[in-house]
Amino acid sequence: MKKAKIAGVGFHVPENVITNDDLTKYMDTNDQWIQERTGIKERRWVTRGEDTTATLAAKASRIAIERAGIEPKDLDFIVFATLSADYYFPGAGVILQRELGIAETEIGAVDVKTQCTGFIYALSMATQYIETGMYKNILVVGAEVQSMALDLTTRGRGIAVIFGDGAGAVVLQPTEEKGKGILNTKLHADGRYAEKLIMPVPGSHAGYHNDKLETPSDWNFSDARWGNTFINEHMLTNSMIYPYMDGKYVFKMAVTKFPEVTKESLDAEGLEVKDIDLFIPHQANLRISQFVAKRLGLPAEKVWNNIQRYGNTTAASIPIALAEAWEAGKVNDGDLVCLTAFGSGFTWGTALIRW
């Protein structure tokens, strides 16, 4: 069976830079708190009406497609990882197909919704299509516009300061080169923790899971008077439409699962941590990345971090970091590159690549 290789990478972030000081205009926070807890100095947020998740994705995709030596019309399939699609439905994949001007090709396009692990899941799915021979050129994208779903008041500061917007893309193709390409992908999930990092609205739960929701005590989804609706005025006025995170719990699980799945992936190939040339963790939080690198025994120069400049861009963070590292000359022929993620769900996973 042929392996899949990454034939082209690209990323695009909005021009609009939001510094930590800028956030103090909206909420009670400060640069020191944000930098100490998360490592973030600034993030990019789209300018309303200028970009959407799919248009950011299209900009990143065009770069990846050109670097792969193909044209958009040569694509066979699109896998789009995002939690912040342009619409609740349809998914962002079809909008990206249209933005790339290839809707007439009628190629398939699917969305993947596994949050911060989205790109790893998307890459894994696309790899299977390449390995079976079903497709030859697959566009795999991670893109987010999260700035439009943040509570920019002091109440939401624990989350609002962390997240950013951006897009990263790769083109997958089959490779004949022995020992090269995506060696393996490992995917995991544990739904017991679904409510630890969640945006509950819009959704169909209508109070069904209330016993599992540790969200703010004034959030109540089960009042029948509100009617059978995904979203209503009560939810809007009570800030129930924003993400909730149990930050400490997420931190604890992340620093365990990142190393665990990285080792699982290395073990499957008979490789060791010291064989890794470049480790690209999902940019959740600089402290998490540093903690994980230390646990694995990876020196700082083998770990790519850019959360300082972009914040946590969820499904976009790994492909942005990969494209940036590639542009910086840090990804070279024969290198062992390890992409690892953990996030809401909880979901976690790894892709191990011989470049």
Chain contacts with ligand COA (rule: CB under 6 A): 29, 33-34, 37-38, 116, 157-158, 161, 245, 247-248, 250-251, 284-285, 288, 312, 343
Which of 182, 184, 185 has the alpha carbon at shortest distance from 5? 182
Question: Does 338 qualify as catalytic in the annotation?
Answer: no
- To ligand COA, the closest distance from the beta carbon of 163 in angstroms equals 8
DSSP label of 107: -
259 residue type, one letter = P
Question: Does 282 qualify as catalytic in the annotation?
Answer: yes
Q: Which is nearer to ligand COA, 24 or 222 (by Cβ)? A: 24
- To ligand COA, the closest distance from the beta carbon of 309 in angstroms equals 16
Question: Does 312 qualify as catalytic in the annotation?
Answer: yes
DSSP label of 226: G
Q: Which two tokens stand for residue 320?
A: 């942005």
d(CA 206, CA 199): 13
Q: Strand pairing partners for 44?
A: 17
Q: Which is nearer to ligand COA, 221 or 244 (by Cβ)? A: 244
d(CA 118, CA 338): 16
Strand locations in the chain (E):
3-12, 17-19, 42-44, 77-81, 108-112, 138-144, 166-175, 181-189, 197-198, 244-245, 278-281, 336-343, 347-354
- To ligand COA, the closest distance from the beta carbon of 31 in angstroms equals 10
118 residue type, one letter = G
Which of 159, 129, 146, 121 has the alpha carbon at shortest distance from 3? 129
Choice among 282, 285, 306, 338 that is catalytic: 282
Q: What distance, in Å, lies between the first and last C-alpha atoms of the chain?
A: 18
Q: Which is nearer to ligand COA, 92 or 116 (by Cβ)? A: 116
Choice among 20, 306, 312, 338 that is catalytic: 312
Q: Following DSSP, what letter does each residue of 169-207 receive, concatenated?
A: EEEEEEE-STT-EEEEEEEEE-GGGGGGEE---S-S-TT
Q: Which is nearer to ligand COA, 285 or 306 (by Cβ)? A: 285
Q: Which two tokens stand for residue 21?
A: 């000081």
Q: Which is nearer to ligand COA, 34 or 167 (by Cβ)? A: 34
- To ligand COA, the closest distance from the beta carbon of 307 in angstroms equals 9
Q: In what order do the strands lie in the sheet with 77-81?
A: 3-12, 166-175, 138-144, 77-81, 108-112
- To ligand COA, the closest distance from the beta carbon of 62 in angstroms equals 28
Choice among 20, 116, 137, 306 that is catalytic: 116
Q: Which is nearer to ligand COA, 18 or 245 (by Cβ)? A: 245
- To ligand COA, the closest distance from the beta carbon of 323 in angstroms equals 20
Residue of closest CB approach to ligand COA: 247
Enumerate the active-site residues: 116, 282, 312
